Structure 1
Amino acid sequence: MKKTRLMKIVLKRTGAFKLLCTYIVVFVAVSIGIMIVEPNINRLIDSLWYSFSVATTIGFGDITAVTIIGRILSIFLSICSILIIAVVPGIITSYYIESTKLREKESSAKFLDDLERLPELSKEELTALSERVKNFNKKKK
Structure 2
Amino acid sequence: MKKTRLLKIVLKRTGAIKLLCSYVIVFFAVSVAIWIFEPNITRLFDSIWYCFSVATTIGLGDVLATTLVGRVLSIFLSICSILIIAVVPGVITSYYVESTKLRADESSAKFLDDLERLPELSKEELTELSEKVKKFNRKK
TM-score class normalised by the smaller sequence: over 0.9
Deviations 1:63-100 (A, max 9, x none): 00000000000000000000000000000000000000
The aligned counterpart of 2:79 is 79
- TM-aligned CA deviation for residue 136 of structure 1: 0.7
What CA distance in whole angstroms lies between the structure 2 residues aligned with 1:35 and 1:3? 37
One-letter code aligned to 1:63? V
TM-score (norm. length: structure 1): 0.99
Same amino acid, percent of matched pairs: 79
One-letter code aligned to 1:125? E
Runs of 4+ aligned residues of structure 1 deviating over 3 Å after TM superposition are: none
RMSD: 0.4
Deviations 1:4-50 (A, max 9, x none): 11000000000000000000000000000000000000111000000
Aligned residues: 140
Residues 49-60 of structure 1 mapped to structure 2, 5 A cutoff: 49-60=49-60
The aligned counterpart of 1:94 is 94
What CA distance in whole angstroms lies between the structure 1 residues aligned with 2:6 and 2:126? 34
The aligned counterpart of 2:111 is 111
> Quick check: 1:46 aligned with 2:43?
no
Gaps of 5+ in 1: none
One-letter code aligned to 2:15? G
* SS of structure 2 residue aligned to 1:27: helix
The aligned counterpart of 2:22 is 22
The aligned counterpart of 2:3 is 3
TM-score (norm. length: structure 2): 0.99
What CA distance in whole angstroms lies between the structure 2 residues aligned with 1:133 and 1:60? 57
